[in-house]
Structure 1
Amino acid sequence: MNTHFLTAFLASILAALVTSIGIFVIRRFEVWGRKNTTYFSCFAAGVLISVSFLHIIPKSFQMNEQAPLYLLGGYLALHFFNRFITAYVCDKNPETAIGIIPMLGIGFHSFIDGVVYSITFSVSIFTGTLAAIGMVLHEFPEGIVTYVMLIRGGFSQKSSMVLAFVAAALTTPLGTLLSFPMISQIDKSFLGALLSLSAGALVYVGATHLLPQAEREHKKFSLVAMLGGILVAVGIIVSKT
């Protein structure tokens, strides 16, 4: 079996497991989960932003000279998708938006996470591992958010748990399974373009999605958590160079 595929798939399984833990924690230990979610978000954001700028973006620029355009495209694609979900769809269907629309948005995002695993691990095990560190960590608050939004939308605890698991957890390994066979067949230049798209998406998740949410919480040590994520990412990159 292809080592890169196996590693990517195991990373996506780990991501699904962490998401599932988030769902379980918020259901069984709601106070603790809500109290510490911000720290997970900040740490994950620090890792994702650092890994993107220090390793993934330079790597993609080496592989494809048009990579800056794809980097912008990856960022804007997630931005416009989230704007569509939160502004257009939610405004048109306010009752549905409470639970179903966020679930669909997170499900799509988690599927893209699985595709990102395929892309980054196709480049190298090291590149994939760096991306996976931050991505796996941000799955924990994602599971919590999905479950809470479904509860607020009027779903029962059991239904919310099942739907959150399917949308936020299972979609990640599914994205890896469906995308890796195609990605493993493409040339270096196209892979560089996909890697740059992925970097744009990772920067969006870290800088535009996770950090603003964390800032609204005003947690005392949120900045420390983010700096911890940056230091971890920098330490891993420096040790491998």
Structure 2
Amino acid sequence: MTLLAILLGTLVAGIGSVWVAAWLSFGVLSRYTQHMLSLAAGALMATAFLHLLPEAFESEAGAHELFMSLLVGLVFFFLLDKAELWHHGHEHGHGPSQEDHSHAHAHAHAHGHSHSASSKDGSNRGQWTVLAGDSVHCFGDGILIASAFMADMHLGVIASLAVLAHEIPHHMGDLVVLRQDNSSRQAAILKVSMAGAITALGGAVGYVLVDALREWLPFFLVVASSSFVYVALADLIPQLQKRLTARETAAQILWLGAGIGMVALVSALAGHQH
């Protein structure tokens, strides 16, 4: 019965949050596509700095080991990104040079076409980094939910709802990143949903090995946070660094703040429930 409750709670939290995020991103906020980049950057950074890292450092794990894990995570996702770009360039070895691509990429952004074909060489940038970080994060969430259910059924329900709530703004950021490669909305939702389903795997593994895995949970949180920080700073923020009018800059900052504010709010509410 406990295992069934864990699986149900993790699926609702992991996949339900993706569907709510998709409804918001592609429904209510679909008219603000350009601003969603700012929202995504704010949400990803806030998830890392206001939720994952504080939770990791509140554990008994040593600060030195956690910072080392953060550094290794950032380097790992940088190399993952490089490998993806190298693989893409290898497949299109007779394409335009990097300098031509950089010029075309900048030219496209100057005209507000962030999804144009001219930036196709960098289209997968950040996508696999987000999905890898998402999977690690969701696995950790599954262990958290399993731990809560094994302590008390009511606490497990609250933990599942808390995870669902704090994942919504984060998954909104994920969907924006995945849409950068011109993939369909359905493909983006499916990819993030598959990563969200890892929450159930974490719950099942946590049910069996919760005591052993609890010690590793802070490191799961740090590695996941490193992926979100990397994508925000290496992929999203550079796309926002272009010449804009004062009004456009103010809107950009407002949406960036909205992304941070959403995560801060749900993290605060989740903290009150613990």
Q: Provide TM-score, normalisation by structure 1.
A: 0.70
Instruction: Specify whether residues 67 and 73 from structure 1 end up closer, same or farther in structure 2 by C-alpha distance, changes over 3 A only.
Output: same
Instruction: Specify whether residues 145 and 102 from structure 1 end up closer, same or farther in structure 2 by C-alpha distance, changes over 3 A only.
Output: same
Higher Cα Rg, which structure: 2
Aligned match of 2:77: 82
Displacement of 1:10 after TM fit?
0.9
RMSD of equivalent CA atoms:
3.6
Within the candidate set 165, 168, 171, 2:189 is matched to: 165
Instruction: Specify whether residues 225 and 33 from structure 1 end up closer, same or farther in structure 2 by C-alpha distance, changes over 3 A only.
Output: same
Aligned match of 1:144: 176
Where structure 2 has 5 or more consecutive residues not aligned to the other structure, the ranges are: 93-119, 149-155, 241-248
Instruction: Specify whether residues 145 and 77 from structure 1 end up closer, same or farther in structure 2 by C-alpha distance, changes over 3 A only.
Output: same
1:200 equivalenced with 2:222 (yes/no): yes
Q: Provide TM-score, normalisation by structure 2.
A: 0.63
Letter in 2 for 1:17: W
Aligned residues: 223
CA deviations over 1:171-210 (Å, ceiling 9, x no partner): 321x12333222211152x323331122203432454433
Where structure 1 has 5 or more consecutive residues not aligned to the other structure, the ranges are: 152-156
Aligned match of 2:102: none
Instruction: Specify whether residues 45 and 118 from structure 1 end up closer, same or farther in structure 2 by C-alpha distance, changes over 3 A only.
Output: same
Matches within 5 A, 1:1-241: 1-2=1-2, 3-21=5-23, 24-25=26-27, 29=30, 31-43=31-43, 45-58=45-58, 60-61=59-60, 66=61, 68=63, 71-72=66-67, 74-76=69-71, 78-94=73-89, 95=92, 98-99=122-123, 102-124=126-148, 125=156, 132-149=164-181, 151=182, 160-173=184-197, 175-188=198-211, 190-210=212-232, 213-214=236-237, 217=240, 219-221=252-254, 222-223=256-257, 225-227=259-261, 229-230=263-264, 232-234=266-268, 236-237=270-271, 239-240=272-273
Taking the aligned partners of 2:26 and 2:171, their CA distance within structure 1 comes to 13
Q: Which moved more, 1:3-12 or 1:211-220?
A: 211-220
Determine if contact 2:131/2:192 at 8 Å carries over to the other structure: yes
